[in-house]
A and B are shown apart, each in its own frame.
Chain A
Amino acid sequence: MTSRRNFLKTTSLTTFGFALGVSSFAKDATLKKITPAIVSLEINPFIIIDTAGNITLVNPRPDMGQGSTQAVPSLLAEELEVSLEKVKIVQSDGKGKYGDQTSGGSSSVRALWQPIRKAGAAAREMLTQTAAKRWNVSTTECFAQDGKIVHRGSGKSLTYGELADDASKLEIPKNPKLKEAKDFKIIGKYNKRLDVPERVTGKAVYGLDVDVPGMVYASVLHSPMLHGKIASIDDTETKKIAGVLQVVRTERPMPHRKSEAVAVIATNWWAALKGKKALKVQWDNGDYEKTLSTQKYFDATYEAARKEGINYEEKGDFSAKYASAKQKTEANYETPFLSHAPIEPENAVVHVKDDGTVEIWAPVQGPDWALRDVCGYLKVKPEQVKINVTLLGGAFGRKAYHDFLLEACHLSKELKKPVKVTWTREDDITQGPYRPGMLSHMQGFVENGKITGFHHHAIGESIAGQVFNGLKDDEADPWLTGEISPENSKYNFATASKVSWTNVKTDIPVVWWRSVYASNFGWGQECFIDELAHLTGKDPLEARLAILSDERFRKVLETLAEKANWKEKLPEGQGKGLAVFRSFDSISAACVTVSRQANGVKIDKVVSVIDCGYYVNPDNVKAQTEGNIVMGLTAAIKDGITFTNGVCDQTNFHQFNLMRINEAPKMEIHIIDSGANPGGVGEPGLPPIAPALGNAIFAATGKRIRKLPFDITNLS
């Protein structure tokens, strides 16, 4: 790994050079110059150009496969007029000076689009001024090209390295001129990701691959009913296993509560795992056997669907209009709890040292959040903690929840040595946290062949409430109610609309999962729009366009219709369905084609269209959307997570099946060049997938599916 220590050594001890910091990620981010003396104090060293011309960027977005290690440096390279290969990347370590550092909410390009480009443009202008002064010419006669400032008339040039020291003495321009989109050489163009080679040769270093000297391995026995208390531990058999060093009581710290646990410490992880399997622990499970039940949870959501929720917004007195409407319908749409199941299980190496400092090596989505949680948990100050973020072998939201990291903190503090905690797949699947299962109670009506009334009652557990204890009992959860409001969907329901919410609580831990609630509520919204479209007697595309005036939405749908050949007449037994959903500032629509086959259907093809505004690499937008198609279909037709009698019914991939290559359909992705501000890319492709499939199945078979997941081979 490129260690942060080496990076600081070269940057702070080389006392010449040029460094620019970005004080915040706000659009009007102010730039701040860091003189070499201050660099050694580590204030905002974001971008550093040294006297040898090396360009270093401290990347504030860990890479979990979404391509941030290309997207972020591209923004800088574009404005600095250098090739992507010239920018060396160092992962940020969570310290506050780097601002927000969490890969989540599809935020990398959205948040960094302005500030990183602005820093690059400012540096370019300062280097240009320096060269112009040296040549005694006007800056207008000079331009930046491939790491040099060139004088137009004479063709002479100076490298950034030759200019860096003097440039660093200049005032930073407050409003450097950003390049115009038409002049982009990197942004918006196909470029290979430079970190792909290390990912095909086994050289990439993930959390699981970290070894540090003196390290011991831990496998943690978690409470099968998640929150049970330890009644007794018999470790006789465990201690007979070669390599087992000790057995310790420990804990699993979740944001909202802690659970008791037992850790087996060994000289290697296989021994620790064998030791864990040999433990005989009695648990006092209280009444979790009765209460931890997804069936009971969903029963409560269906009960809530029969009652009024808390209104987030209501326009045009929906309830009265619905009561008197002549053409109306209502339905419940259910989505399951889901495990993120990144193929790299949760793991962390932590060393709580004798001097009170802490060093961490872990695959975390946000070193800033990890730092906050570690400081809060170990009662240490940020300056005592050093976080080395590794590559993440998938995350999808899971690795921004730090129970596994804090387990390693607890054990290292106790054992006074570096400890590597590695979860098993069974830990990952049976312990959560999960995407919450949710219910959408939908009501709507149609007047004069148009969908004019719509109510989405969102029901279930609140992530904000459970994870952050941040929701009042009389408050509609703004995380999701905003997302399903007509303000977000842009549907114009002329007569009345309503968004409401009921919080059904559960002790099952929940957290954000790729696209968060959009992954739940896209299902209810877009399948129900399809139901109402059929009530209008119109084609589902036409019925949508009739209530959409937003140009970007219309363009997305019209492009989808064209690319997916929506209007073609299909043979009997084949059907197409579509759905559109806006999330993370991007609009994505999908069209799924299915064919009847025995008692079920086969997915023939998925076409997806995304308008994500400006984007960095079209190939990566496609890759992310391909991933969203697979994950969206998996969520629809493979396994959900269920709890019966207090325990998770699924334990590994034989019960929590994921889509495999033989089940993955043909897919086609189209990107709209809208020129809008950048939207998200990592998540917005997912929400329309399941409803497009459900609507296709209705078109092909006449069967309306309202509960996920379902068995696509047997719809009877």
Chain B
Amino acid sequence: MSGARWLNLRRGFYRFRRSWLSMVGLVIVAALVLVALVGPALVPHPEHVAGGINTTARFLTPSASAWFGTNELGQDVFSLTIAGSRVSLLAGISVVVLAAGFGTLVGAVAGYYGGWLDEALMRFTDLMLTLPSLILAMAVAAAMGPGLGNTVFAIALSWWPGFARLVRGEVMAKKADTFVIAARALGAGTPRILGRHILPNIASPIIIKMSLDMGFAILTVASLGFVGIGVKPPTPEWGSLLSTARGYLPDYWWTAIFPGSAIFLAVFGFNLLGDGLRDVLDPRARR
């Protein structure tokens, strides 16, 4: 890495540390990742995560032995909530990566080639943007059947147009730059120009959008779970946990409060982190 780029990164990190909201976001996200990685192995009742039930211990109030209480099947809510972090994080990342990958492909091709291809791809992208994304995701997920993979695919299907628009604009701005013309003059082919010269130079806005989108992707996964389309029990998904708990309010409030708060905390952490990253990587967008 060149000296100047390194210095920029260090300056950026300094700015990031100076903003305590970004640091709070970083701490929340780091904790979430840690919990998702090791949590499911350490929870007090892994058998409940796997779908086991204990009908003699239904609806226990939160106590020292069951921190978040137990639900209608006698399952430990703490274990389920912790295990849910892995499901949500994995689904959120998959949605964003799939959407960014496909969106970048469409946007780069449209922006680089221009002409009728650009026109056709962008009209299609705009149409996809006018579709109500949650309804589209619900319809696709319902038709494909329950399961985490299907849910992720359904959401990503409505998510890529934002990336396509972003990447197209950036590619169009870069393709007339001297270094791209130089590369073409040296005989580089289109895939090489796009992959080696243009895309690395527009990585920042793509990464910013990915980090800003993470929170909303997690929220959307939970939303599908909540309306009962998408991940189904026994997979411990926060949205579907909350949906089940809804029927047991107000008496058994703990079955709803903890998974709901987990969704909020995860989305909040990623939003703070995303905002902080944008300030670091894209100084123009500050304030």
Say whether A and B bind each other. no
Report which B residues bind A (CB closer than 8 A).
Answer: none
